[in-house]
């Protein structure tokens, strides 16, 4: 086995989310005193690229391959799945979101020793127009290589150390989907 490192540079939007249903249930049960406490106790996190500036292979910063990668894999199911009616966080969903500029994430692809790396097999997953707040949500937690999901290297996730109680975020609510799933 050999490894190929993909490093993407750009701006991230990180979204904390918690269903109003979860918030209400935890206030009604007495588990939490108010909406803020319920949100902070039960939120989940997802993230996306807001802007992609560069894609490098094996730390070769001489060659930006962002325009040579494969086409986007478009979906209208990512946020639908997160906020599904039978899931943990059905709509409406309260959100806190924040931007991290000039970030880097790394993805490590494992290839067979005799397998050649092909930049066209690197694809990013883009959620198109699922919700008005994020019309283009280019997933950052993983990329695809030859159809296989490659998770971001946790060592590069600086945004995962964020404490939402610091209140350095924008607030909003997602009440409905723009379109049904594909």
* pLDDT for the residue 156: 61
Average pLDDT score over the chain: 91
Write down the pTM of the prediction. Answer: 0.88
Tell me if 154 is assigned to some domain. yes
Tell me if 9 is assigned to some domain. yes
Write out pLDDT tens, residues 72-83.
999 989 999 999
Other CB atoms within 10 A of residue 8 CB: 25
- Concatenated DSSP letters for 104-130? EEEEEEEE-TTPPP-GGGEE-EEEEEE
Tell me if 180 is assigned to some domain. no
Tell me if 181 is assigned to some domain. no
CA distance 63 to 81: 36
Burial of 165 (0-12, 13-18, 19+ CB in 10 A): exposed
Backbone angles phi, psi at 58, to 5 degrees: 50, 45
Range of the domain at 148: 2-174
Q: What residues have CB less than 8 Å from 180, skipping those under 6 apart?
A: 76, 80
Please state at what angle helix 35-42 crosses helix 20-28, rounded to 10 degrees: 120
* pLDDT for the residue 111: 96
Q: What is the count of structural domains for the chain?
A: 1
* pLDDT for the residue 173: 95
* pLDDT for the residue 168: 74
Tell me if 42 is assigned to some domain. yes
Q: Which residue's structure tokens are 């109003």?
A: 20
* pLDDT for the residue 164: 61
* pLDDT for the residue 153: 87
Q: Which residue's structure tokens are 């059905």?
A: 90
CA distance 26 to 48: 29
Tell me if 31 is assigned to some domain. yes
* pLDDT for the residue 144: 98
CA distance 153 to 146: 18
* pLDDT for the residue 161: 61
* pLDDT for the residue 181: 66
Q: What residues have CB less than 8 Å from 167, skipping those under 6 apart?
A: none
Tell me if 179 is assigned to some domain. no
Tell me if 65 is assigned to some domain. yes
Is residue 181 a contact partner of residue 77, using CB atoms and an 8 Å limit? yes
**Which of the residues in the chain have pLDDT under 70?**
156-167, 180-182
């Amino acid at each position: 086995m050999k490894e190929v490192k993909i490093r993407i540079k750009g701006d991230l939007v990180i979204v904390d989310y918690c269903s109003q249903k979860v918030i209400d249930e935890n206030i009604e049960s007495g588990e939490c005193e108010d909406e803020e406490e319920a949100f902070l106790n039960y939120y989940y996190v997802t993230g996306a690229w807001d802007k992609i500036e560069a894609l490098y292979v094996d730390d070769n910063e001489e060659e930006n391959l962002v325009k040579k990668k494969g086409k986007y894999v478009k979906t209208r199911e990512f946020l639908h799945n997160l906020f599904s009616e039978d899931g943990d966080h059905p709509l409406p969903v309260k959100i806190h979101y924040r931007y991290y500029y000039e970030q880097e994430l790394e993805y490590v692809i494992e290839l067979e020793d005799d397998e050649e790396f092909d930049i066209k097999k690197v694809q990013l997953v883009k959620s198109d127009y699922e919700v008005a707040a994020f019309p283009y949500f280019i997933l950052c937690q993983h990329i695809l290589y030859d159809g296989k999901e490659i998770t971001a290297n946790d060592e590069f996730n600086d945004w995962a150390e964020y404490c939402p109680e610091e209140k350095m975020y924008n607030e909003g609510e997602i009440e409905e989907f723009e379109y049904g799933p594909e």
